[in-house]
Structure formats: structure tokens, C-alpha cells
Amino acid sequence: MRDAFIRTLTDLAPQHPELLLLTGDLGFKVLDQYIARFPRQFLNVGVAEQNMSGLAAGLALEGHTVFTYSIGNFPTLRCLEQIRNDICYHGANVKIVCIGGGMSYGAVGFSHHATEDLAILRSLPGMLVFSPCDLWEAAEAARYLVSHRGPAYLRLDKSAAPVNVEPGEAFRPGSIRTVREGSDVTLAATGGILGEALLAADALAEQGIFCRVLSVHTVKPLDTDTLAAAASETGGIISIEEHAVDGGLGGAISEALMEAGVFPGFFVRMGLRNTFSSAVGSQQYLRKVYSLDAAAIARTVSARLARGADRFLTVAAR
């Protein structure tokens, strides 16, 4: 996703001389081509994210479109107050880009895992929150943000779901993409972990359970209509995120549906439950440890449907 983002920025920079990319010393060579071509549109600000965010606000208030770019929590939690006061309060045209959303940085450790960012960033007034699931969504979200004016957060995952785009499909910010139709259960995922949802859906289909799979690439604003339809048309909703269940995608969906007065048959939030992702291993391994891989998703679906069936049987027996 990182490369898709950089490619998009590199493509668009010539037409957008106001575009500036700031990094807190985490270019990791992947920015080299961009830097070589657009030295005046790049700045490595050093390991100083609070200053980076304030600089970005100052530059944006003077007409620049500024991307701040770093990994994990560094461009967000470290400088949250600068984002709140300098960027959001001023409606400054700053796009915050996190590479390594969720547990992307695997064995690097919990300090490099971004697992509360969606909850925190979406609570900020005026902030858009994008968390693409595949490379197409990542590139399209980046393209949208170059032209959009105002604060936004783009969370990029190391993993990516397989691209599943209809010919001619347009990226619609603020909308949920239905990547697979089904009526038994809805799997609503954000980020690369959508790939696990698709694998689970494949396995469940073999058992005759058909999942609707939703890619929630925009966590804020949230597409309540698509979620409400899923609540009414399918047996229940399972939210899936590489993130704390509190306040993240699951929190956002439950808030939206409660307020809309639409209640799914059941609702399960899959994510980290009051825990740090401190086990040591790859992103894939960590998904298994924290019950967020395809097998865990399939188990959750089966368990909920079985519970529903039990209840039905009990009622019938009376």
C-alpha cells in the first residue's frame, strides 16, 4: 500500500506544485524516486513529529497541501494535540499518512503497532479517516486526498486484500464497497485484514454459508446506509479490524446503527480486546494469536449462526 501511495503522489506532484511531502525520517528509501524528481516538494524534518505537524499546519495555512508521513503511531499519537489544535481546529489542509496500520510491523513490537489510531483520529472534528483494504483503494484514496481540502488521515497497511474492482468502478470516498454479495452474515472489515474476511467467506461458502463482505475504506464519514441495509438483509454483522474493538470500526458501526434505529440480528466486534499486541511474530502470526485470521473469522460466524439456530430450536420445541 505504501508503494501504491508513493506512486500516486509521484504521478500527481507535477500537476500539484502546492503539494509537499514531509517525513519524520522514515523514508526507508521508498521515497527516493519521489525525492529525486521533486526535491522542492519534499522535506525530511527529522525525528520530531510534533514539530512536523505544526510545520505542516503553518505551510497549509499558507496554501500548501501537506502530507505528513511516518510509521505506526508516530505521525498521530505522538503529536495528537498538534493535530487537534493546529491542524483540525484551523481546518488546515494536512493529510496524515501512517504506514504500518494495525500490526503491520509484526515482530518489531507493540510500540510500532497502530491499534488505537482509528478510534482517536475519528473523534477529531473535521478529520476524514481512510483505511483502505487493497492497493486500488490505497491509490484511489491518495489520489482523492491530493485534491481534497482539509484534514484527513490515511492508514496504510503492509498487508493488502486482493484487488477486486469492477471494470470502470469509481472510488467513492465515504462509501462502503460491497466486495462480495451474500445474505447469511455481513463481514465488515477495514484495512488489509479484509483479505482474511474474504478467505473466511470462501471457506464458509463451501459449507453453504454465504457472507456479504464489505470494505470499509472510509471509517469517517461512515456509510450508514450500506450498513443499515446489511443489518436488515443479512443475519448479523461482524466487524473486523486490526485495531482495538473500543472506538474503532466496530464502535463506529454500532454507534451508527443504534442512532439509525436499525439492529442487526447479531453483532460481533472482532479486534483487540483490552490488550496490547505484544506477542512476537509476523502480522499473519499475530492475527492468529489474537483470533483475527480467516480461521477465527469463520469460527466466529459458525458459532453465532449455531447459537441462532439453537435459539430457534428452543423456541420451536415449546
Partner 1 sequence: MRKTKDLAQLQAIARGVRRHIVEMTGAAKSGHPGGSLSAVETLVTLYFDVMNHDPANPRWADRDRFILSKGHAAPVLYAVMAECGYADTPVDQLNTLRKLGSVYQGHPDRRFIPSLEASTGSLGQGLSVAIGMGLAARLDGKAWRTYVVLGDGEIQEGQIWEAAMFGAFHKVDNVVAIVDYNRIQLDGFVKDIMELEPLADKWRAFGWQVVEPDGHDIASLQKAFAEAAATKGKPTVLIAHTIKGKGVSFMENNPKFHGVAPTPAEVEQALKELA
Binding residues for partner 1, rule: CB under 8 A, are 20, 40, 43, 45-46, 48, 50-51, 53-64, 81-82, 85-86, 89-90
Considering the complex, what minimum distance in angstroms separates the CB of residue 81 from partner 1? 6
Nearer to partner 1, 64 or 95 (CB): 64
Going 40 to 46 to 48 to 49, the CA torsion angle's sign is: positive
Residue closer to partner 1 by CB (options 83, 198) is 83
Q: Which is nearer to partner 1, 65 or 215 (CB)?
A: 65
Give the nearest distance from C-beta 34 to partner 1 in angstroms: 17
CB nearer to partner 1: give 17 or 174: 17
Least Å from the CB of residue 51 to partner 1: 4
- Residue closer to partner 1, measured from CB, 40 or 318: 40
CB nearer to partner 1: pick between 54 and 109: 54
Neighbours of 82 (CB within 10 A): 21
Which residues face 183 on adjacent strands? none
Minimum Å gap between C-beta 139 and partner 1 is: 27
CB of 242 to partner 1, least distance (A): 30
- Min dist CB 61 to partner 1, Å, is 7
Minimum CB separation of residue 149 from partner 1 in Å reads 16
In sequence order, the 6+-apart residues with CB closer than 8 A to the CB of 303 are none
How far apart are CB 127 and partner 1 at their closest, in Å? 17
3-state SS of the chain is CHHHHHHHHHHHHHHCCCEEEEECCCCCCCCHHHHHHCHHHEEECCCCHHHHHHHHHHHHHCCCEEEEEEECCCCCCCCHHHHHHHHHCCCCCEEEEEECEECCCHHHCHHHCECCHHHHHHCCCCCEEECCCEHHHHHHHHHHHHHCCCCEEEEECCCCECCCCCCCCCCCCCCCEEEECCCCEEEEEECCCHHHHHHHHHHHHHCCCCEEEEECCEEECCCHHHHHHHHHHCCCEEEEEEEECCCCHHHHHHHHHHHHCCCCCCEEEEEECCCCCCCCCCHHHHHHHCCCCHHHHHHHHHHHHHHHHHHHHHHHHC
Residue placing its CB nearer to partner 1 in the complex, 56 or 301: 56
Of 62 and 206, nearer to partner 1 (C-beta) is 62
